[in-house]
Amino acid sequence: MNPLRGARISGTGSDLPDKILSNAELAETLDTSDAWIRERTGIERRHVGGSTATMATNAGRRALDAAGLTGVDIDLVIVATTSAEQMMPGAAAVVHAELEIRGGAHDLNAACSGFVYGLIEADSMIVAGLDHVLVIGSDALSPWTDWTDRSTAILFGDGAGAVVMSACDEPSLLGWDIGADGTARHILFTDHNDTIKMDGREVFRKAVRAVMESAGAAMDNAGVEPEEITWLIPHQANTRIVDSICEKLGIDTDKAVMVIAETGNTSAGSVPLALHAAVDDGRIKPGDLLLLAGFGSGMSWASAVVRWQE
Ligand code: COA
C-alpha cells in the first residue's frame, strides 16, 4: 500500500426539490409562527416533495460533472440515507443505474451523520486501492413528517448533496472521529409506516456535547487547533445548536457555513448541501481547512478535518 496514497474531493453537487414550504404556510395549519421558527431554529423555509433516489442521482450527476468524470470512472457509490423509497434495494441501486456507474453500490444508514461517515469510509476505500468513490447524502423526510406535530414539522425538509473522492498523493482527510450511543436511540426515531418521533430538548443537549467531543477529537487527530479552521460545515439541524457548538469549540460563528434558512434539516443531505454551497460561491479556497461535523439519530456522530485542494 502506498503510504502517501489518500483522497481529495474532486467535485461537489447538490439538489433540492422545486416545491418550497415557508414558515408562514406552516403557520396556517399549525399552532406556530414564522417569528418563533426563525428565532428558535434559524429556518425560514424548506423544500418538500422530493424523491430520495432522484435527488441523489441529480446531486451525484452534478458532482461527477464538476470532477470531469462519468459513471464508468466510479469504483463505488455510497448513498447515505434513512429514506430510501424501497426496503430493498437501496437508493444506491437507482443511482447506480441512472448514472451508469461501473463499480459497487450500497446505502449507509447513520441518519444525519451518514454523509460524514460515508466520506471517512470512502477515504479508507481509496487508501485501500479504489480510484474514485461517489459519496452522496440524500433524504426526503417530508413523507415521514407528521404535519400536525409542531415540534417536528417545522424542522425537516428534503435535499441532497454529493462529492466525488479521488485518489491523490497528498491526503486531504487529516483527521476524523466517529461515534455512537445506541442507548439514546429512543430520543429520535421513525418506525416503519409511522412518522418521525423526537424529544427535541434531549436531542439538542446530546448533539452539542457529541459534536463538541467528536470535533475536538478529529482536530486532535489532525493536529490542528480550532483557530486554524477556515470553515465549519455542520449538520444543519438548528442554528442555536451550531452557535452553541462554535462557542464551545472556540470557532467564530461566522466561520459556520449555514444553509438551514433555505433548507431546514435535510438529514444526510445537509452537510454536503452546505459544503457544495460554499464551494459553488467561491468561499472555500485551496489550502482552507474544513471541519465537517454530523450528528443525528442513533445517536450517531462523525467529524472530519479536510484540507481543501484545487
Ligand atoms: N411553535 C411555537 N411554539 C412552540 C413550538 C413551535 N413550533 N414548538 C414548541 N413550542 C413551545 C413549547 O410548547 C414550549 O411552550 P411552553 O414554554 O409554554 O411550555 C416552548 O415553545 C418551548 O419549548 P421547547 O421544546 O423548550 O423549545 P425549544 O427552544 O427547545 O425548541 C426545538 C424546540 C425542537 C426547535 C429544539 O428543541 C431543537 O431544535 N431540538 C433539536 C432537534 C433536532 O436537531 N433534531 C434533529 C437532530 S438530527
Location of C-alpha cell 423526510: 141
CATH topology of domain 6-168: Peroxisomal Thiolase; Chain A, domain 1 (3.40.47)
**Which pLDDT score is estimated for 270?**
98
CB 14 within 8 A of CB 62: yes
Catalytic residue check, 276: no
Centre of ligand 1 from the C-alpha of residue 207, in Å: 15
pLDDT in tens, 77-114: 999 999 999 999 999 999 999 999 999 999 999 999 99
DSSP 55-68: HHHHHHHHHHHHHT
**Domain 173-307: CATH superfamily, name plus number:** Thiolase/Chalcone synthase (3.40.47.10)
Centre of ligand 1 from the C-alpha of residue 232, in Å: 25
CB count within 10 Å of CB 113 equals 33
Extents of the domains making up the chain: 6-168, 173-307
Give the residue ranges of the chain where pLDDT is below 70. 1-3
Nine cell digits for residue 62: 452534478
Distance CA 31, CA 251 (A): 35
Catalytic residue check, 112: yes
Does any ligand 1 atom lie closer than 6 A to the CB of residue 38? Answer: no
Distance CA 3, CA 137 (A): 29
SS3 210: helix
Q: Which of 47, 112, 238, 246 is catalytic?
A: 112
Does any ligand 1 atom lie closer than 6 A to the CB of residue 204? Answer: yes
pLDDT in tens, 255-274: 999 999 999 999 999 999 99
Does any ligand 1 atom lie closer than 6 A to the CB of residue 185? Answer: no
Catalytic residue check, 109: no
Phi-psi region of 118 (alpha: psi -120 to 50; beta: other; left: phi over 0): alpha
Distance CA 267, CA 144 (A): 12
- The DSSP code for 249 is H
Alpha helices for the chain (secondary structure H) = 23-27, 34-41, 52-67, 91-98, 114-127, 150-153, 200-222, 239-249, 260-263, 270-280
CB 59 within 8 A of CB 67: no
Centre of ligand 1 from the C-alpha of residue 146, in Å: 15
Does any ligand 1 atom lie closer than 6 A to the CB of residue 145? Answer: no
Q: Which of 115, 51, 46 is nearest to 265 (CA)?
A: 46
Radius of gyration over alpha carbons of the chain, in Å? Answer: 18
Does any ligand 1 atom lie closer than 6 A to the CB of residue 138? Answer: no
Measured by CA distance, the residue closest to atom 24 of ligand 1 is 201
Q: Which atom of ligand 1 is nearest to the CA of 152?
A: 34
SS3 134: strand
The preferred substitution site among 23, 28, 115, 204 for testing ligand 1, maximizing ligand atoms within 8 Å of CB, is: 204
Looking at the whole model, is its pTM more than 0.75?
yes
Q: Which of 45, 43, 59 is nearest to 94 (CA)?
A: 59
**Which pLDDT score is estimated for 310?**
82
Phi-psi region of 242 (alpha: psi -120 to 50; beta: other; left: phi over 0): alpha
**Which pLDDT score is estimated for 217?**
98
Q: Which of 47, 132, 235, 276 is catalytic?
A: 235
Does any ligand 1 atom lie closer than 6 A to the CB of residue 29? Answer: no
**Which pLDDT score is estimated for 265?**
98
Measured by CA distance, the residue closest to atom 39 of ligand 1 is 238
Asked if domains 6-168 and 173-307 share a fold, the reply is yes
